[in-house]
Amino acid sequence: MQTRCASQSTQFCETCLQRHPRRLDARIDLIAERYARSTTPWVVGYSGGKDSSAVLKLVYEALLRVPSRPSRVYVAYCDTGVEIPIIREQVRMTFARLRAEARSDGVPITIKIAEPKIEDRYFVKVIGRGYPPPTNKFRWCTDRLRIHPIKRLLSSRRAQGATVVVGTRFGESPERDRVLEEHAQGTDRFCFRQSGNTAVTLFAPIVDFEVTDVWKVLMTVQRPNAVDGRRVLKIYRDAGAECPVVRDEHGTPCGAGRFGCWTCTVVRKDQAVTSLVAQGYSEMRPLLLFRDWLAQVRDQRSARCGIRRNGTVGLGPLTIGTRMEALRRLQAAERDSGMSLISGEEIVAIRRLWDNDRTSGRYFE
């Protein structure tokens, strides 16, 4: 039983780093053993957060230890289209370096980026279709933006029977612990069933790690160099936030204390973006202002149609006028921040939805 480091979270002390040096080694061996026995592909879920970065390091080290590597390892990332831009940029840079490093090591890694369908993208739903920005009661976003894209990727022919390696840990929240216990697979303390998909085995090699163990992996396991533990630490310190991976659609919002979507209105205040702005990432300020405007306009009666899409009277979609104003503000935020926030494909889809609503005449105002 290990003692919790008094310094907690993104703080860690030298004692933590030196504690149980052989434990990490044994865990890498365990991963290597399981990979060597496996005849199906592996899919490593990666978000750029600390837990998935630590898992990727352990898996990579394990791959370097096995004599032959017949099964392909996919590193899967979900790009919702509204990821915090500096985190997304960091992930893209990591992938570019990881591809080159894996190629030169002869490690069979392929990177897969999952994206929501065009009709499910955040801005197509809110600005195009007039969905109110999500709330805790009407959280329409998590499955569309984060869960379905990954499920689609896992149901592809290549991922059939895959072992999905995740950075889930006990102790993150009572709800997460309950789900983990419910999905435990027999006596194997590292394997879990995935709800609704019996073809997939979840392998959680750091399920028993404390947060200090995770930082220890990031600071002491060198390979792949592409996953830079110190860079991950800096982002955590600047954003004062936790990892955004969503593993349970009924769980707490991924924006709560995590790197969620920069548009997230499920949380009262966006901690990560607010903290980044305070730390000097001033280019993020226009994004924060836009997000705050979305949260405000959602609750204004005058911004919503008086009829719902099912024909009943009540707070309906955002009016076309509000949606147009949202697009204007979003494009202004794009100009002011110098960041690309919406794609041309999304704008086309939005205009098509406006035309449909104009033709029907019901959701104009």
Contact residues toward ligand SF4 (CB under 6 A) are: 134, 139, 141-142, 145-146, 253-255, 260-261, 264, 266
Query: Residue 68, exposed/middle/buried by CB under 10 A (0-12, 13-18, 19+)?
Result: exposed
Nearer residue to ligand SF4 within complex by CB, 254 or 350 = 254
Nearer residue to ligand SF4 within complex by CB, 38 or 343 = 343
Nearer residue to ligand SF4 within complex by CB, 62 or 261 = 261
Residue nearest to ligand SF4 (CB): 260
Which DSSP helix (H) or strand (E) runs through 199?
strand 197-203
Q: What's the closest the beta carbon of residue 127 comes to ligand SF4, in angstroms?
A: 14
Nearer residue to ligand SF4 within complex by CB, 54 or 266 = 266
Alpha helices by DSSP H, 7-137: 14-18, 21-37, 50-65, 85-105, 122-123
Q: What's the closest the beta carbon of residue 82 comes to ligand SF4, in angstroms?
A: 7
* Closest C-alpha to 325, from 290, 349, 283, 276: 290
Nearer residue to ligand SF4 within complex by CB, 148 or 362 = 148
**CB burial readout 21-60, b (16+ within 10 A) else e:** eeebeebbeebbebbbebeebbbbbbbbbbbbbbbbbbbb
The angle, 0 to 180 degrees and rounded to 10, between the axes of the packed helices 320-337 and 344-360 is 160
- What gap in Å lies between CA 241 and CA 98, rounded to an integer? 25
Q: What's the closest the beta carbon of residue 244 comes to ligand SF4, in angstroms?
A: 7
Nearer residue to ligand SF4 within complex by CB, 210 or 242 = 242
Which DSSP helix (H) or strand (E) runs through 192?
strand 188-194
Nearer residue to ligand SF4 within complex by CB, 20 or 250 = 250
* Spatial contact of 107 and 60, defined as CB atoms under 8 Å apart: yes
Nearer residue to ligand SF4 within complex by CB, 61 or 248 = 248
Q: What is the DSSP secondary structure assignment for residue 3, as one 8-state letter?
A: P
Q: What's the closest the beta carbon of residue 39 comes to ligand SF4, in angstroms?
A: 35
Q: What's the closest the beta carbon of residue 140 comes to ligand SF4, in angstroms?
A: 8
Nearer residue to ligand SF4 within complex by CB, 191 or 246 = 246
Q: What is the DSSP secondary structure assignment for residue 120, as one 8-state letter?
A: G
The amino acid occupying position 281 is Y
Which DSSP helix (H) or strand (E) runs through 328?
helix 320-337
Q: What's the closest the beta carbon of residue 34 comes to ligand SF4, in angstroms?
A: 31
Compute the CA torsion angle 103, 104, 108, 109 (nearest 10 deg): -60
Q: Give the Cα-Cα-Cα angle 308, 313, 314 (nearest 5 degrees).
A: 70
- What gap in Å lies between CA 54 and CA 58, rounded to an integer? 6
Q: What's the closest the beta carbon of residue 81 comes to ligand SF4, in angstroms?
A: 10
Q: What's the closest the beta carbon of residue 71 comes to ligand SF4, in angstroms?
A: 31
Q: What's the closest the beta carbon of residue 91 comes to ligand SF4, in angstroms?
A: 16
